Amino acid sequence: MNKYLKEFFFYPHVLIHILLLLVAVVGIFIFDYNAFLWLALPLGFITFMVAEYFAHRFLFHQKLPKKGIGRLLLKKLHYDHHKDPKSMAHLFIPLWFIVPAFALNTLLVWALFNDATIAMAFATGSLLSLLHYEWTHYSFHRPIKHKGLYEKMRLNHMRHHYKNGNKGFGVTNPIFDKLLGTSNEEK
């Protein structure tokens, strides 16, 4: 297990996520305290989990264009991962996609609430959720033993890769797959 923890935490994508998380946490303390930050943090976590399912289902699995930049971006974003699911190069959400998405979401929350502390707390929650996603996804593709709910989610994800790519879009939680009829669980 130590081998995989080291491989995960020293992977450049993860180091950048951790750096962004530290920036967001420091941002909470730089700006004025706001009681709503304790709501913004879990809201950021949950928002990423919702985005994980819907982006995976409707963006990452849209029909691959025959040519052009859209084809290249979608291949790099997700299709290459399905082609080679164990490759470290394709295991993590690409930085060119996730960093601008986080910046945009943080700026939108800042503009919506006109409060930098809430924006930083939202970003912190989202980044924690991203790290949870990246670890969960990474561990599902490595020979790491899982138990209980995580073993069920791992099996759901493996069926997504090797049996039916049109189901099993929730990597870190099964809720939306169950609610929206895209579960890959065997009965």
Q: Please say if the pLDDT value at position 145 is more than 80.
A: yes
186 part of a folded domain: no
Mean pLDDT of the chain, nearest integer: 92
113 part of a folded domain: yes
Q: Please say if the pLDDT value at position 48 is more than 70.
A: yes
184 part of a folded domain: no
141 part of a folded domain: yes
90 part of a folded domain: yes
Place 187 in a pLDDT band, splitting at 50, 70 and 90. low
Task: Please tell me what DSSP assigns to residue 143.
Answer: T
pLDDT tens column, 50-105: 999 999 999 998 988 888 998 888 889 898 999 999 999 999 999 999 999 999 99
Q: Please say if the pLDDT value at position 125 is more than 80.
A: yes
Structural domain containing residue 29? 2-179
51 part of a folded domain: yes
185 part of a folded domain: no
SS (HEC) of the chain: CHHHHHHHHCCHHHHHHHHHHHHHHHHHHHCCCCCCHHHHHHHHHHHHHHHHHHHHHHHHCCCCCCCCHHHHHHHHHHHHHHHCCCCHHHCCCCHHHHHHHHHHHHHHHHHHHCCHHHHHHHHHHHHHHHHHHHHHHHHHCCCCCCCHHHHHHHHHHHHHHHCCCCCCCCCCCCHHHHHCCCCCCCC
52 part of a folded domain: yes
**How many domains is the chain partitioned into structurally?**
1
